[in-house]
Amino acid sequence: MTETPPVPETEAQDETLVETLQLERIEENLFRGTSPDTQPGRIFGGQVIAQSLLAAYETVETRVCHSLHCYFIRPGDPTTPIVFEVDRSRDGGSFTTRRVVAIQRGKQIFNLAASFKDAEEGFRHQAPMPPGPHWRDLPDQREVLAELMKDAPEEAKRWLKRPMPIEMRSQDARTYWMSGPKDPVAQNWFRCSTPIGDDAHMHQVILAYASDMNLLSTAMRPHGVHWQTPGFQSASLDHAMWFHQPTDFNQWHLYVHDSPSASDGRGLIRGSIYAEDGTLVASVAQEGLMRMRPK
């Protein structure tokens, strides 16, 4: 699967992200999903995470997902529907567990394990939101990147024209395409710019969708490479997410990344997602492929 480079949404969008992610039930534990026809090459990894979680939710009555762990196995083809097979692993007294396998042309492209539970009161603490610029003080990333990419490769320009329902603002928007090493840390504000509605589960599903954005690029920063560096190869390998608090993802959230390690052709990235009031709503970890192709 591929991670989405930091590109903005276009002015016109034919459908909301809620509509894009919808699944068709084809059997008791089987669902079918499709991809936007604007996706070039490979399916965006966040899409298959979100649709797999949505398929699991179709088999869970009231409990809420508190964690998910998944592996990207093969590149997904955006021109082919995805079949999601849900295994109802366990319905226990406190926890519900589901496994979801995403299939194209008879082969697994992705699998996910998720755990669900009822809300309860208990011990509470959280890491504080780190300092940084507020989203109101950051430029519209659409305008910044349009200016920067006037002379970019055609592939990058095509990404710029894609409908992107996740709005993002970042202090690094003006320096992203510049070469040279940078610290392996990053911050960006993001939100779903199309209406999600009142379903709290769908806000969680779309937060999972957006959690795959910009992570791997943080591990690239110390090495002076980016998505358009000739010979550079990258892909998401696995992804884990823990949901701490319910949230409204039509509101701005701060996504804080750091990459503590890169070795053996892989980079590790950690992420924390905060609501605007400083509440830590989710934590993320991802490992991605990072290598230069032999010349």
Residues carrying an active site annotation: 212, 236, 286
Question: CA 130 from chain center: how many Å?
Answer: 21
| Nearest C-alpha neighbor of 117 from the set 272, 249, 242, 206 | 242
Rounded Cα–Cα distance for residues 245 and 268 (Å): 24
Rounded Cα–Cα distance for residues 210 and 46 (Å): 6
Rounded Cα–Cα distance for residues 231 and 225 (Å): 10
Strands ordered across the beta sheet of 64-72 = 24-27, 30-33, 82-91, 95-104, 107-117, 64-72, 232-243, 280-292, 266-275, 253-263, 185-192, 166-170
Both tokens of residue 231? 């010979």
> Which helix (H) or strand (E) is 67 found in, with range?
strand 64-72
Rounded Cα–Cα distance for residues 159 and 175 (Å): 17
Question: CA 204 from chain center: how many Å?
Answer: 11
Strand locations in 20-63 (E): 24-27, 30-33
